[in-house]
Amino acid sequence: MKTEYRLRSYLLFLHGVLLLGTVSLYQQQPLLMLALELLLAASFWLCWRLCRQSLQPLRYTECFQQLLSEQSYNHRLHANSDPQLQSLVQCYNDLLARLQQERLRIGEQQGLLDQLLEASPVAVLVFDFDDRLSLLNASARQLLGLADPLNRPLCDWIDGDATFFPQFSPIEQQRVRSLLPQLQQLLPQQSTLCSDSEGRRFRCQCSQFIDRGFSRRFLLIEELTAELHSSEKSTFDKLVRVIAHEVNNTVAVTGSVLQSVCNYQKQLQADDQQDFAVAIAAVQKRNHSLGQFIDRCSQVVKMPAAEPQPTDLVVLLSDVMYLCRDNAQSRGVQLQWQLPADPVWLLLDPALFSQAILNIVKNALEAAETGLQLQPTRPAKVLLSLVPQPQGWQLSVTDSGDLLRDVEGGQLFTPFFTTKKGGQGIGLVFVREVLQRHGLPYRLASTDDQQSCFEIWFSSLKSS
């Protein structure tokens, strides 16, 4: 210690000068010189001891400062028998003990928080003071697929050169890029529903917390697609059951009355009989169409539970395509399919799944025919392909209609929503229900080459 060194140097210098002063008395008064030298020796010993005792608290303070700088809170200081020093050392030790307990408590809380964040199904994004990403949990990494996201703002992935995980396809990257601008625009304490290009819907909430006196924001992203689909299906089921009960009773009575009214046609004048017959036929046709519409709605509501069994997907798809071949020729659409030569055995309900594929192909044929009417110079075609993937198979039905480019992805599987003239908006609801009962991921969207594609992925775990 510099203070101790200077003080002891001063004592040595002072007593050395006094000692030299007493040497001058050696010849005149030797006894006085001897007494003075003894007195100086006693003074030097006493001052040295007092200096050591007075600087003892400073030594403990330096040790305490070193422990604080090294964050060695588990060490303790030991004092001598001096009561005052013992009180000071006890105060330092109590402070070290409190710091150690606080560090353990914060460490345990941080560990619990980290585990909660990693296990949470809600995606969490935390930003620093400059609005750059500082933390993403596992759900956020899986949802967004941002590569090397730390210390980078979200705008780097919106309009910059930031990259995604290698396993993220260009379509998945496009989906994330459609969601990020909505996240970027969220203000603190704001909550809203967002959707991506595939129609997946999320509840996004922006909040903030105080860090070192300044606010930092974080985002919570919770996917609601399955929950909203379940709510929509429950509402759709209740609505259809109520309407079906009333409409079926009305259609049955109306059909019977119309059939009875036809018996009065011969009682009319000859000039009126033709008009009467045409009017009754139109009403009967409309009555029959209404009954068919209710039947199609009831098929979705009363769909039986899926009964998966080993099914050769290649044979099932081939049967559907041969069934649709004449329909495609009548519409002027070229129907093609590419299937593996070997069987592909999967656990499927053949009745439900073949009906779902039939609806998908039928929609594709109608879209290709509409596209041909809009662009006569462009060939109308539908292609069904089944290709292997690293973890299963991918089924794609692509049509040249390109009628979904301006349609929001979340509307496609909404009951009663349709892009076809005279459509009822029931077919895709049926398809969605079948695929969800099989636990198969799917996607319907426009492609970059001005086509529409319905994709279904079969995991290897679904194989028999």
Residues 87-106 have a mean pLDDT of 82
Architecture of domain 120-223: 2-Layer Sandwich (3.30)
Is the CB of residue 383 less than 8 Å from the CB of residue 337? yes
CA atoms within 13 A on the CB side of 109: 6
Residues 124-151 have a mean pLDDT of 90
Query: 26: helix, coil or strand?
Result: coil
CA atoms within 13 A on the CB side of 460: 5
Partners of 385 in the β-ladder? 338, 396
Does the pLDDT at position 256 exceed 70?
yes
Rounded CA gap, 329 and 459, in Å? Answer: 34
> Which residue has tokens 């709510």?
231
420 alpha-carbon distance from chain centroid: 33
Q: What is the percent of the chain where pLDDT is above 90?
A: 11
- At 396 the pLDDT is 93
Contacting residues for 347 by C-beta, under 8 A, at least 6 apart: 308, 309, 310, 311, 462, 463, 464
Does the pLDDT at position 259 exceed 80?
no
Is the CB of residue 193 less than 8 Å from the CB of residue 225? no
- Domain 309-462, CATH among 3.40.50.620, 3.30.450.20, 3.30.565.10, 3.40.190.10: 3.30.565.10
CA-based nearest residue to 236, from 149, 183, 299, 285: 299
Give the tens place of pLDDT for each residue, 278-335: 777 777 777 776 676 666 666 665 666 778 889 999 999 999 898 888 888 888 899 9
Residues 22-28 have a mean pLDDT of 72
Is the CB of residue 243 less than 8 Å from the CB of residue 294? yes
CA atoms within 13 A on the CB side of 234: 6
Give the tens place of pLDDT for each residue, 37-66: 788 788 878 887 777 777 677 777 777 777
Q: Do domains 120-223 and 309-462 have the same CATH topology?
A: no
- At 440 the pLDDT is 86
Has this prediction a pTM greater than 0.75? no
Q: What is the percent of the chain where pLDDT is above 70?
A: 82
Is the CB of residue 324 less than 8 Å from the CB of residue 365? yes
Give the tens place of pLDDT for each residue, 157-172: 887 778 888 888 777 7
Is the CB of residue 79 less than 8 Å from the CB of residue 105? no
The confidence band for 12, taking pLDDT boundaries of 50, 70 and 90, is confident
Does the pLDDT at position 424 exceed 80?
no
Does the pLDDT at position 128 exceed 80?
yes
Contacting residues for 36 by C-beta, under 8 A, at least 6 apart: 18, 22, 25
Total residues belonging to the chain: 464
**Domain range annotation of the chain:** 2-101, 120-223, 239-301, 309-462
